[in-house]
Amino acid sequence: MATPDYTIHGVQHFGWNNALEPVHRAAPGAVIEFEAVDASGGQLSRQSGLDDVVNLDFAKVNPVTGPVYIEGAEPGDVVKITMLEFKPSGWGWTAVIPGFGLLADRFADPALHIWEYDASCGEPAAYLKGIKVPLKPFPGTVGLAPAEAGEQSVVNPRRVGGNMDTRDLAEGSVLYLPVEVPGGLLSIGDAHAAQGDGEVCGTAIESPMRVVVRLDLIKGMSLNFPRFTTPGPVTRHLDDAGYEVTMGVGPDLMNAARCAVGDMVDFLAAQAGLSPAEAYMLSSVCGDLRISEIVDAPNWIVSFYLPRKVLGG
């Protein structure tokens, strides 16, 4: 367990802005605990229903906690962020939000699943029809302030990080972000209890939690985009029983991804007795999109891996 030097809670913002006043100034080597509220910014709760999904105020989604000024950080440096510990809340939500997600044209109606799970994440979270999803907490959004003046969208990822939704930024991983403004101005939010690579329906198990990180500074390190290292295997929690895999083939990677996910939704609906929307949400929280082949022109292959373990296989 890591003992934080400082805890930040109750201070969120809804867009990147290098003019924001830092809520804390940290020396390199400091351990900071961030309160990461859920992606709805508290608009969804354990008691929420479909109306709450439909009425989401998108000006208040994906809040991040911070920013933290790292002493000595200057443009051309890199902030090194070590993921030390996650303290989950034990509940979360996954939703199909109309107009959002990889298959938005197919899923025009809202859907919502409220999760209750073991806050230690030692046990899989129960879904439907006996399905259980292994958990792996991580922050969906980790970023520094961009050099562009004014408020910038927090929804899309960028060179300095942001809403990267990268599942393997889990405990023990080390993230490196290029600095564009003095102090870096780090913020963290959008915590997930579990997610598949791709987050295909647009949401994971969105879950409030606390995130403890160590901040270090690397002077004069040239870095074009974020990079990270992991402490070991990244899919051990899913690999036990193999995978069901669907494939999309064609000259467009995005369309191939849509085909692969669409076929998995159909497979799960037929084989597991889920509704298409339920299958879509399950795919988002534990299925992985992978580029299987990108050299044999004119067609590329995108595959979608669904772990058989979640189905009891």
Fold agreement between 6-229 and 239-311? no
Name the residue ranges covered by the structural domains of the chain: 6-229, 239-311
Residue 278 CA: distances (Å) to CA of 128, 288, 311: 8, 17, 13
Rg (CA), the chain: 19
Weakly modelled stretches of the chain, pLDDT under 70: 313
The residue with tokens 């006996």 is 130
- CATH number given to 239-311: 3.10.28.20
Q: Which CATH number fits the domain 6-229, given the four candidates 2.60.120.580, 2.130.10.30, 3.40.50.300, 3.30.70.270?
A: 2.60.120.580
In this prediction, residue 2 carries a pLDDT of: 77
pLDDT tens figures, 74-132: 999 999 999 999 999 999 999 999 999 999 999 999 999 999 999 999 999 999 999 99
Beta bridge mates, 96 = 111
pLDDT tens figures, 202-235: 999 999 999 999 999 999 998 999 999 999 999 9
In this prediction, residue 1 carries a pLDDT of: 74
